[in-house]
Every structure is written in C-alpha cells, then in structure tokens.
Amino acid sequence: MIEKVNPSHPDKLADRIAGAITDLAYQKSENPKVAVEVLMGHGLCHIINETSEHFSHYEIEMIVRRITREELVVDYSEYRQDSHLSDNQKLRIRCGDNGIFRGVPVTEEQKELSRIARRIYEVFPTDGKYILDLNQKRLVICQSNASSDELSALLHDEYPDFRTAINPLGFWTGGLNTDSGATNRKLGSDMGDSVTGGGLWGKDLSKADISLNLYAWNLAQRTGNPVEILCAIGDESVVIQSGSEEFVKPFEEIVHEVKGDIMINHGGFERFAEWGYF
C-alpha cells in the first residue's frame, strides 16, 4: 500500500518553494550552505532560512507567488549557519549531518500509483492525494476541483474490478485555504520504502539527507538491491552496503555525482520536489 500526492498538494508546494530557494542559492554560489523550512496556509507563508547566501525579501516573495499562484503574506527570516558547522566545510566538502540512509527498489505498486497520479494531474492540475493497494484491489482518489463522475470516467476502463473510492466527502476545492503545507511532510510519497530520518527538500548537497539519500536511491534502482549508508558529521568518505557488497566512496564524489543528476536529469531542486523520486 502506498500514498502519493501531486505537485499542487500544500505540502508539495512547500517542498517546491524550498527547492526553488535551494536552486537560487546554487545560482549565487558554487557550494552554498542552505537549510530552508516552509510552513504556510490560510494566507500566510512562514520561511526560515539558515544560509551562507543572502536572499532579499522580494526574491523570496516572487518564488512563493510563482509557485502557489497566490498573494500570500510572506514572513521570511534569514540566519547564518552555526559557526562550528560552517567550519566543518571550510577546507573541503564533508558530511554535513549524521544519519542512516537507505535506498530500496521501487515496487510495481508504487510505479502504478505514480502513473495514476500523473495521469490525473495532467487533466486536473490541482491539489490531490491518491492511495493504492494492489493486493486488495483498492484505489482511493481525493482530487480537488473535479467531480466524481469525471474521475470515474477517466479511470474506469483500466480498473473496472477495483473497489474505488473517489472524493469520499464529495466535491472539494483543496489548496492552502483547506490545509496547511510544510516541508518534508510527504516523504513516503517522495521516497516509497526508502524513508529515513532525514528530509530531502530545502537543503544544499553537503547535507547527507539529500546527497546520500539520492545516491542510495539510484544505486538501489540500478542494482535491484537494497542499499544502506551510515555517516557521521565531518566524514570525508562513507561505507556503502549494497546487497552483499560493501565499498567505500569519498563523500565529495557523491556530492558531485548527485549534483549532476539533480541539475541535468531532474531540472533542479524545485522540479525534483514536484514528484520526488518516483
């Protein structure tokens, strides 16, 4: 069983804003330090940014307005990174956090729900959440600004024998006046079975939460084996367990590899945050 949300869900709007701020940080510096938290809803958007780069209130407000398509009141606070953490990165790129990270191959159920979510979103690009259980042949669709009849017609031919619950409470409008949005609250939707203690969005690549998570994810998809990586803050290399194989890789190499993947294959942090890993 898996849950998926689309890019217009309030939590994904928050992730996308954090991703856009991270993209802007990389435009300002080759190796910026940034850690963004976004909480918004009901006309307000609160953003805390611990960063090595300066962002004007106007830059932040334009990102929020472009992604949400609403004129929210933006409360933006900016702080410098803790000096001890900053010193850790002065001479070279080292692990900027402690953690245990894992990558797990995506299941057919997860791939199928992602396909369903994307298909619905092409027709109805508004707030939505979807749940699929292939074993019990059950599909739950909560799609805002769409009637149950329209959604049933869209899906009926492919899932005629499924128990399908579509908008159980009826028509709803969704969005930031219905629910709040916060960064890194939909990691199951982003990562499937690879959820760990770290968040993905609003962080530079020195943070293992993003670099080691993405590296582990991609390695698991390539090999078909589960992957585990343990790191401590300040590590210059990490031990990687992939199936029965174990090897050591410099952290800086992982960061450069993941940066290329995000920028080239995903189109940047903001675009990557729309759907996550699958």
Q: What is the pLDDT of residues 180-234, one digit of tens each?
A: 999 999 999 999 999 987 889 999 999 999 999 999 999 999 999 999 999 998 8
pLDDT at 275 over 70: yes
Give the pLDDT score at 220.
97
**Per residue in 69-112, pLDDT tens?**
999 999 999 999 777 667 667 767 888 888 999 999 999 999 99
**What is the pLDDT confidence band of residue 271, given thresholds at 50, 70 and 90?**
very high
Q: What is the mean pLDDT of residues 61-67?
A: 98
Cα–Cα distance between 57 and 21 in angstroms, integer?
12
**What is the pLDDT confidence band of residue 24, given thresholds at 50, 70 and 90?**
very high
Picking from 180, 199, 203, 200, the residue whose alpha carbon sits closest to that of residue 36 is 203
Query: Where do the CATH 3.30.300.10 domains begin and end in the chain?
Result: 10-88
- For domain 10-88, the question of CATH label 3.40.50.300 is answered with no
**What is the pLDDT confidence band of residue 1, given thresholds at 50, 70 and 90?**
confident
Classify residue 153 as exposed, middle or buried by CB count within 10 Å of its CB (0-12, 13-18, 19+): exposed
Give the pLDDT score at 41.
97
DSSP secondary structure code for residue 105 in this structure? P
What order do you get walking across the sheet with 44-51 strand by strand?
Answer: 73-79, 44-51, 34-41, 181-182
Cα–Cα distance between 169 and 176 in angstroms, integer?
18
Two tokens at 251?
A: 């952290």
Cα–Cα distance between 41 and 55 in angstroms, integer?
22
Share of the chain above pLDDT 90, in %: 83
Give the pLDDT score at 84.
67
Higher pLDDT, 117 or 158: 117
Share of the chain above pLDDT 70, in %: 97
Q: Specify which residues 70 forms β-bridges with.
A: none
Give pTM, 2 decimals: 0.94
**What is the pLDDT confidence band of residue 249, given thresholds at 50, 70 and 90?**
very high
Q: Specify which residues 18 forms β-bridges with.
A: none
pLDDT at 14 over 80: yes
